Chain A
Amino acid sequence: AQSVTQPDIHITVSEGASLELRCNYSYGATPYLFWYVQSPGQGLQLLLKYFSGDTLVQGIKGFEAEFKRSQSSFNLRKPSVHWSDAAEYFCAVGYSGGGADGLTFGKGTHLIIQP
């Protein structure tokens, strides 16, 4: 069965600084990979996804992520964070044909932005 690890429970970054959130997955074949963001008390919003092709994917709100097969990673990056980026970030993995079996989510990384 697939699994997702987000090793950082909390990350604190100064406003304007760069950001990298880590995500590692465990799955035998090429997975489908997702990053979601959740503001307090809200649902999850899709930031970006990787299915195939270019391993560097661009998402909304200035985020990008890079799929590295050799490292089984899909880290999320942003060159300059804004105070509004403070939220919970979830990495998730699915697979072709997984369909209704759904996605497997990591436990999330809580991003704190310092002024």
Chain B
Amino acid sequence: SQTIHQWPATLVQPVGSPLSLECTVEGTSNPNLYWYRQAAGRGLQLLFYSVGIGQISSEVPQNLSASRPQDRQFILSSKKLLLSDSGFYLCACSFASQETQYFGPGTRLLVL
């Protein structure tokens, strides 16, 4: 079965600094990958999804970008963080024949 790793677990960054969050998947190949953001007291907002290397779809316009340099690696980035980027970022994966999504442990980002 698949295992999703997210790094780092917690991050405190100043406004205007860059960001790089990493998600890697073990135990499977060619997964669909997702980045969600969960703000305090809210549900999950889908930010990006990817069906393959170099293929990224964005769900909402924002200050963030995503990349998929390898089959099992998904990176969330920003050139300049905003206060509103604070939140809990979750990576998830699914497979072409299934709609079930499996989630990583998350990264808590605090922008000060």
The majority secondary structure among interface residues of chain B is: strand
Taking a contact as CB atoms under 8 Å apart, the answer to whether A43 and B90 are in contact is yes
Nearest residue, chain B, Cβ from A9: B41
Query: How far does the alpha carbon of A49 sit from the alpha carbon of B101 in the complex, in Å?
Result: 11
Q: How far is the CB of B11 from chain A (nearest CB, A)?
A: 14
* Range for the number of chain B residues in contact with chain A: 20 to 34
Binary contact readout B97-109 vs A (1 if CB under 8 angstroms, 0 otherwise): 0011111111010
Query: How far does the alpha carbon of A43 sit from the alpha carbon of B108 in the complex, in Å?
Result: 11
Taking a contact as CB atoms under 8 Å apart, the answer to whether A99 and B103 are in contact is no
Task: Say if the beta carbon of A67 comes within 8 Å of chain B.
Answer: no
Taking a contact as CB atoms under 8 Å apart, the answer to whether B105 and A43 are in contact is yes
Binary contact readout A3-38 vs B (1 if CB under 8 angstroms, 0 otherwise): 000000000000000000000000000001010100
Task: Say if the beta carbon of A53 comes within 8 Å of chain B.
Answer: no
Query: How far does the alpha carbon of A84 sit from the alpha carbon of B6 in the complex, in Å?
Result: 25
Given A43-B104, A45-B103, verify A102-B96 contact (CB < 8 Å): no
Q: How far is the CB of B39 from chain A (nearest CB, A)?
A: 11
| Residue tally, chain A, CB below 8 Å to B | 26
Chain B positions 54-91 with a Cβ under 8 Å from a chain A Cβ: 57, 88, 90
Cβ-defined partner of B43 (8 Å) among A43, A51, A99, A108: A108
Task: Say if the beta carbon of B13 comes within 8 Å of chain A.
Answer: no
Given A105-B43, A105-B44, A107-B43, verify A99-B104 contact (CB < 8 Å): no
Listed by A's residue number, 13 A-B pairs whose Cβ atoms lie within 8 Å are A36-B103, A43-B90, A43-B103, A51-B99, A92-B101, A96-B99, A98-B99, A99-B32, A99-B94, A100-B50, A102-B49, A105-B44, A108-B43
